[in-house]
Amino acid sequence: MDYQKILLVGGGGHCRSVLDSLLSAGGYDDIGIIDPRTSGGSAPMNIPVLGGDSDLPRLFAAGWTHAAVTLGSVGNPARRRTLYRMLKDIGFSLPVIADPSAVIGRETTLGEGVFIGKGAVVNSGGQIGPCVIINTGALVEHDCVVGAFAHIGPGGVLCGDVTLGEDVHVGANAVVRQSIRIGAGSLVGAGSVVVKDLAADTQAFGNPCRPSLFHPTPPPPPPPMRE
């Protein structure tokens, strides 16, 4: 078996969740974290921090050919997109990371860099795009289509045949009724129940879920991970 090494790019809270699932699943001999805030030290679970994103080409040349984007996002995946593109341009492979407790149905397609957390279920026929987060206890029912960089929060439920566009965020414990379409860049608030289609770039909340009458300024992207 080839000696396997993987870099986790982003050392915050989401990294801790991904790391815990990765350690439970096994399969990697070495794990390193990329986060200049703690470069040269150790982060969660005594995993070494090997530098910032400027060190990625050097580490790739040294044999760290697998990586995962472990920076989280709430309705603002821009930094995750930047890191994903950077890793792809360097040549990294981005594996699917699924907690051993997750259930993944037959005839399900998972894009590169997908993370599926503890107790999550992705049922048969799902099509999950690159770098999607399906968080702890989330349920993606049969034949759902989830666009790249979407994030389904803890306990979120997509009933059958739901389609999420790219960059959609479905908050914790939100429920999306069967056959609903949610346009790219939209955000569904925690605990909401979506019973009608939502256009792109919509923020919607409540039960039943309604588009917000105001448009709060989105949070700024996190600062670049550079020394």
CATH of 5-90, one of 3.10.105.10, 3.20.20.80, 3.20.20.450, 3.40.50.20: 3.40.50.20
- pLDDT band at 214, cuts 50/70/90? very low
DSSP H helical ranges for the chain: 13-25, 56-61, 78-90
Model confidence pLDDT, tens digit, residues 41-99: 556 688 999 999 999 999 999 999 999 999 987 768 899 999 999 999 999 999 999 99
Fold agreement (5-90, 96-207): no
Evaluate the omega torsion of the peptide bond into residue 208 and state whether it is cis, within 30 degrees of 0. Answer: yes
Topology of 96-207 in CATH? Answer: UDP N-Acetylglucosamine Acyltransferase; domain 1 (2.160.10)
Q: Where are the domains of the chain?
A: 5-90, 96-207
**Tens digits of residue pLDDT in 14-37:** 999 999 999 999 989 899 999 987
Give every strand in the sheet of 210-211, ordered side by side: 97-98, 115-116, 133-134, 151-152, 169-170, 187-188, 203-205, 210-211
> pLDDT tens digits for 89-147?
999 999 999 999 999 999 999 999 999 999 999 999 999 999 999 999 999 999 999 99
Mean pLDDT of 197-218: 83
